[in-house]
Amino acid sequence: MKSHSLKYLRIAAGILFLVCLTLVFVDFSGRAALWLAWIAKIQLVPALLAVNITAIIVLALLTLVFGRLYCSVICPLGISQDILIWLRRVTAPRRKRKPGLYRFEKPHTAWRYIFLGLFVLLAAAGLLALVPMSFAGILDPYSAYGRIAGQSLVPLWRSAMGSLAEWQAASGNYIFDGVPAAAVNFNLAVAIVAGITFVTVAIFAFRTGRGYCNTVCPVGSILGFISRFSLLKPVIDTDKCNRCGSCGRHCKARCIDTKNHRIDYSRCVVCMDCINNCSQGAISYRPARRKATQNAADAATVDAGRRSFLVGAALASAAAASAKVTDGGLAPLKKKQPHKGITTSVPAGAASLRNLRSHCTACQLCISNCPNEVLRPSTSMDSLMQPVMIFTDGFCRPECTRCGEVCPTGAIKPVTVAAKSSIKTGTAKVDAATCISAAYGQTCGNCARHCPAGAIQMVRQSDGNMRPVVDENYCIGCGSCEYHCPSGTAGQLSAKRAAIYVEGIETHITV
């Protein structure tokens, strides 16, 4: 294949990866997750945290052979930057666009080490559960894209699909029924982090091309060292070059020193723009032949690369270590509030609060894929932006295992339906003072009727009223009782919360 064709092949592959990964976030039916969740699992940081040896080896070999192709084809934030860079090119004045928008600049080595060191420090602290891993996830490009998609594309898509469902329902067609609420996953903290990230990336893209990838992104820094030794590279043929400088002016990574015919392969993202913009055919993508005259000039760069490798190796070592509630009549319904000051619940596959805290980068993929509207981003600083279970709008159905199937970091491991039904994630507690049966003498028993584990019985009190009693040996903490409790929803009651709620447990157990 000719070198000029490689650029368009790379663009097509990058767009395909981006579209497929975005589908995993926005498709609430679960079909995309069934076939395409592997794209999230081959992202570098999630693969390291999950100790996904196969993905790590594949990515390392990919980089050793082709260079930083990961950054231009697999990384969703990298592909998004290419789209922003393209927008800048097409909107720039023709007098600036034609000659090229970029100029070669020396690498910001100090800043690269600072951000990489910060990421390694936060990741190590996260693995030790000193801070949530979501702090390190702020710098992870995959997780950053997940938060941007989760707070923008997911609500927009669901809003559009919800409108379509209503339009079809008016005609008696319910093919689009079951669309989740557009704003159910919105979280102010996540939205702020996602917004700041997007603005930062956009400014870098418009002003410096791939400057974010080569200055801030820890994945870019790690792969940058490996790509120095890649087999295939863009190589300048000095016999054909006429020193026009077009390749350097069109290089979005700003890594081509046209005066000295040198390319900084640690920053090259293999976009192939230089090849397509060379009128002399002086640049080709092939195995590089190092010349003796280059050795001395490269010595300082290699030394810097060795330091970068040590930091990257430290990171790798650390990583190895239903229907809506109604009252059945005409009483007005109101929004039920979650209980505060209790231990939060996390999905069965998480195994414990500590495991989720030390592995979750807060990419929001599990939250976007939760079909029961149970998983929400945490606002607590000890689990910031990580998923917790809130049972005001749904409950964790025993037959649903999607969050574990899509999680790429090992924070929520896959479990079978049979295994999930016996994993205890919390215990239901009764607030008799707000229970319409125990406190008001009304006939209810919703919690007992809807308990899938049969852990709740209605027992008569001394005053004659029926009160729900929970058998903690059978309760698995699914939240069905809290979701179906009418207290907190009926307008005639002063209670804002359900009279029965789930108190999470630190470490899950089998019942």
Interval 111-124: pLDDT, tens: 999 999 999 999 99
Please check whether residues 80 and 207 belong to one and the same domain: yes
Question: What pLDDT score does 175 carry?
Answer: 59
Question: What pLDDT score does 235 carry?
Answer: 93
Rounded alpha-carbon distances, angstroms, from residue 233 to 81, 266, 287: 22, 11, 6
Which of 3-12, 217-226, 397-406, 499-508 is predicted least confidently?
Answer: 3-12
Please check whether residues 238 and 382 belong to one and the same domain: no
Please check whether residues 473 and 360 belong to one and the same domain: yes
The upper half-sphere exposure of residue 90, i.e. CA atoms within 13 Å in the direction of its Cβ, equals: 6
Q: Which residues fall within 8 angstroms of residue 281, CB to CB, at 6 or more apart?
A: 240
Q: Does the residue 322 lie in any domain?
A: no
- Between 157 and 330, the more confident residue is 157
Give the pLDDT band of residue 333 (cuts 50, 70, 90).
low
388: part of which helix (H) or strand (E)? strand 387-389
Question: What pLDDT score does 491 carry?
Answer: 58
Question: What pLDDT score does 340 carry?
Answer: 87
Mean pLDDT, range 423-430, rounded to an integer: 96
Q: Does the residue 321 lie in any domain?
A: no
Give the pLDDT band of residue 35 (cuts 50, 70, 90).
very high
Please check whether residues 357 and 419 belong to one and the same domain: yes
428: part of which helix (H) or strand (E)? strand 423-430
Distance CA 360, CA 143 (A): 10
- Per-residue pLDDT of 56-82, as tens digits, reads 999 999 999 999 999 999 999 999 999
Q: Is the pLDDT of residue 306 over 60?
A: no
Q: Is the pLDDT of residue 374 over 70?
A: yes
Please check whether residues 413 and 497 belong to one and the same domain: yes
Question: What pLDDT score does 82 carry?
Answer: 95
For residues 86-122, b (16+ Cβ closer than 10 Å) or e, as one string?
eebeeeeeeeeeeebbbebeebbbeebeebbebbbbb
Rounded to the nearest 5 degrees, what angle is found at the Cα of 109, between the Cα atoms of 107 and 111? 115
Please check whether residues 377 and 481 belong to one and the same domain: yes
Question: What pLDDT score does 450 carry?
Answer: 94
What CATH number did the domain enclosing 359 receive?
A: 3.30.70.20
Secondary structure letter of residue 350 according to DSSP: G
Q: Which residues fall within 8 angstroms of residue 43, CB to CB, at 6 or more apart?
A: 74, 75, 141, 142, 408
Please check whether residues 304 and 367 belong to one and the same domain: no
Rounded alpha-carbon distances, angstroms, from residue 420 to 349, 377, 399, 483: 8, 22, 8, 19
Q: Does the residue 432 lie in any domain?
A: yes
Please check whether residues 250 and 201 belong to one and the same domain: yes
Q: Does the residue 373 lie in any domain?
A: yes
Q: Is the pLDDT of residue 299 over 70?
A: no
Per DSSP, the three-state class of 447 is helix
Residues 428 and 482: beta-carbon distance below 8 Å: yes
Mean pLDDT, range 236-243, rounded to an integer: 90
Q: Does the residue 469 lie in any domain?
A: yes
Question: What pLDDT score does 92 carry?
Answer: 84
Q: Does the residue 302 lie in any domain?
A: yes
Please check whether residues 396 and 500 belong to one and the same domain: yes
Distance CA 85, CA 91 (A): 10
Which of 118-127, 186-195, 295-304, 498-507 is predicted least confidently?
Answer: 295-304
Residue 62 identity: L
Per DSSP, the three-state class of 463 is coil
Distance CA 458, CA 28 (A): 36
Which of 209-223, 271-285, 349-363, 448-462 is predicted least confidently?
Answer: 271-285
User: Residue 34 has which token pair?
Assistant: 């069934």
Name the residue among 163, 191, 194, 193 with its Cα closest to residue 179.
163
Q: Is the pLDDT of residue 293 over 70?
A: no
- Between 27 and 96, the more confident residue is 27
Rounded alpha-carbon distances, angstroms, from residue 411 to 143, 184, 330: 13, 22, 43
Where would I find the beta strands (DSSP E) of 27-93? none
pTM of the model: 0.86
**Residue 155 belongs to what domain range?**
3-315
Q: Does the residue 495 lie in any domain?
A: yes
Question: What pLDDT score does 29 carry?
Answer: 83
Number of domains composing the chain: 2
Q: Is the pLDDT of residue 318 over 70?
A: no
Residue 479 identity: G
Question: What pLDDT score does 391 carry?
Answer: 94
- Per-residue pLDDT of 436-476, as tens digits, reads 999 888 889 999 999 999 999 999 999 999 999 999 999 99
Average pLDDT of the residues of the chain: 87
Please check whether residues 177 and 107 belong to one and the same domain: yes
- Between 300 and 249, the more confident residue is 249
Please check whether residues 468 and 385 belong to one and the same domain: yes
Alpha-helix runs per DSSP H in 401-451: 402-406, 417-420, 446-450
Please check whether residues 48 and 145 belong to one and the same domain: yes
Residues 86 and 189: beta-carbon distance below 8 Å: no
- Per-residue pLDDT of 170-224, as tens digits, reads 666 655 556 676 667 788 899 999 999 999 999 999 999 999 999 999 999 999 9
460: part of which helix (H) or strand (E)? strand 456-460
Q: Does the residue 343 lie in any domain?
A: no
